[in-house]
Structure 1
Amino acid sequence: MASSKKDSPGYIAAFALGVCLVCSLGVSSTAIFLADRQDENATVDRQKKVLAVAGLLKPGKEPGNAEVQSLFEERLVPQLVNLKTGEVIADVEGIGPAEYEPMKAAKAAKLTAPANEAKVRFLPEVSKIYYLVDDKRQVKKIILPIEGYGLWGFLYGYLALESDGVTISGITYYKHAETPGLGGEVDNPTWKGSWKGKKAFDEGSNEVAIAVVKNAQGEHQVDALSGATITSRGVTNMMNFWLGEHGFGPYLAKVRDQGPPTVVGDAASNNPSKPAEGA
């Protein structure tokens, strides 16, 4: 019995190729169609982290995207900080805080960071921070982007300080690859809560004092994560870098010397729609 064309190798190969092409087009079309929604969800997720570390979201509460964006724009004001001088500036070559992406600018200009134990690779000349303000536009908290290497990769998050530039209000991470149950405990509400009230610096000093250690004692230590020595060390390293001379150290020194900061620029035009990833 003669075989049909459908049994021939050529037909089978052509049919398989056609199926692959159709599937590829379907996947590509879906990815393109959902790209904007995925970007929005990623932005809202980071906004939630900022709101949470600022103390504006209750644990377990899941507000909708519109509510998150509204609260973020109402209470969080982005500001640009020159890391070398510690000065808050209105814009970078005409680009304001809402649009400026520090790490993208640093990578484009190949601004590499000095050697550091946190393994931070790029360091922008100007970074973006956030002020938590009250209804009178008075600054209540300062929220700093932080990043550094843990055990398996980089951890990206935010550290909140009170307006004195010393007292820690909270910490959170929005992206990391640490082991669940070990280094992944950086997401544990109890551990994050243990940072509240700790002091980032010794009184009257610009030296970073906060550290993650075993059997923490006093106002400058936070308990290490059980079974996650390297991740704990990584968190200490990123504190030393971002609160130190190459990070926000010069800016925080000005805050401690001059008192609580004030909003720079037109707050109404500075409301961000997208928190920058990294510093």
Structure 2
Amino acid sequence: MQQSNAYVITFSVVLTIVLGLLLSGTSEVLKPIQQKAEALDTKKQILGAVMPVEEIAAMKPDEIDAFYESRISSKVVNIDGEEVTEQDGATVTAESVDVGKNYKKDPADRLYPVFIFHEEGNADDAISYIFPVYGNGLWDNIWGFLALQTDVNTIEGVTFSHAGETPGLGARITSRDIQNRYVGKEIFDDSGNLVSVDMQKGEGRDYSGEDHMVDGLSGATITAVGVNKMLRNYLQNYQSYMDKIKEGNEVALK
């Protein structure tokens, strides 16, 4: 039996509304689960900058949460290295700062999270300082965490992630082999100037004797350049805070 145009239109509208409500409801139900998964992944990336990835992989989610709570303290600073605890009337925490959204702002207006890896049971005994970094790769955003030893110069470790770099090429920044190249490198030169660490063009050379260079990514020069810019830009933005640590005017946690 052929239905009238009015019936077909009404049915389509009602069906669209019902499906929209169902999708919206499902999204709301799944949102807390998704947020919890994202928070867990961020904790893994932070911890990955200061401990073997194999140890993290062996932990269950609740064990990662417990370890993070017992060994990581955090704060938020501005580009002048001053601690920020409130913005627009709301409490600010390092875990609540969306580094990706902040990246769209002028550097002077951004919030900069700092994560401090410390001895268990002693938040004042810092082992390393972990700084989020964010930038652009070849196709999309790249980001990561860089950990510095207490001299605020020597790299303890890094973790890198990406949204859409080429598999087998730029996407290799997520591999431990690439990330381990940064361990032990230094971000300041002998005169105290911030020079960061540069991934070189090409791959296969030995830079073990160079404090500020690491081997490159074959076939992924643009991604490597993006990593270099990302590290240099964010380390510059954290420099005022690092200077306070070196001058002894900053403690691990207030």
TM more than 0.5: yes
The answer to whether the aligner puts 1:179 opposite 2:166 as a matched pair is: yes
Aligned counterpart, 2:38: 42
Alpha carbons of structure 1 residues 141 and 155: separation in structure 2 relative to 1, 3 Å: same
Alignment RMSD: 2.9
Distance 2:155 2:26 in 1: 43
Amino acid at match of 1:146: V
C-alpha contact (below 8 Å) 2:94/2:115 kept by paired residues? no
Post-superposition Cα deviations, 1:5-46, rounded to whole Å, max 9, x if no partner, equal 44x544444444444333322222111111111111111111
Post-superposition Cα deviations, 1:146-169, rounded to whole Å, max 9, x if no partner, equal 011111122121111111111111
C-alpha contact (below 8 Å) 1:216/1:224 kept by paired residues? no
C-alpha contact (below 8 Å) 2:245/2:251 kept by paired residues? no
Alpha carbons of structure 1 residues 172 and 133: separation in structure 2 relative to 1, 3 Å: same
Counterpart of 1:188 (choices 153, 171, 175) is: 175
Post-superposition Cα deviations, 1:83-123, rounded to whole Å, max 9, x if no partner, equal 22x34x3734683535763759968xx9523xxxxxxxx74
Mapping of residues 104-253 of structure 1, within 5 Å: 112-113=106-107, 123-124=109-110, 126-135=111-120, 136-137=122-123, 138-214=125-201, 215=205, 217=207, 218-244=210-236, 247-253=237-243
Alpha carbons of structure 1 residues 189 and 106: separation in structure 2 relative to 1, 3 Å: closer
Aligned counterpart, 1:75: 71
Distance 2:113 2:5 in 1: 60
Counterpart of 1:55 (choices 42, 51, 54) is: 51
More helix by share: 2
Counterpart of 2:253 (choices 235, 241, 264) is: 264
TM-score of the superposition, structure 1-length normalised?
0.76
Q: Secondary structure at the match of 2:184?
A: coil
Alpha carbons of structure 1 residues 123 and 148: separation in structure 2 relative to 1, 3 Å: farther
Alpha carbons of structure 1 residues 237 and 90: separation in structure 2 relative to 1, 3 Å: closer
Alpha carbons of structure 1 residues 98 and 165: separation in structure 2 relative to 1, 3 Å: closer
Distance 2:157 2:100 in 1: 26
Count, aligned residues: 245
Amino acid at match of 1:48: K
Post-superposition Cα deviations, 1:207-228, rounded to whole Å, max 9, x if no partner, equal 2141110335222111111211
Q: Which consecutive residues of structure 2, in runs of 5 or more, have no partner in the other structure? A: none
Q: Secondary structure at the match of 1:243?
A: helix
Identity of aligned residues (%): 27
Q: Which has the higher contact order (CA 8 A, sep 6+)?
A: 1
Q: Secondary structure at the match of 2:57?
A: coil
Amino acid at match of 1:140: I
Distance 1:104 1:185 in 2: 21
Q: Which consecutive residues of structure 1, in runs of 5 or more, have no partner in the other structure? A: 114-121, 266-279
Distance 2:67 2:227 in 1: 29
Aligned counterpart, 1:116: none
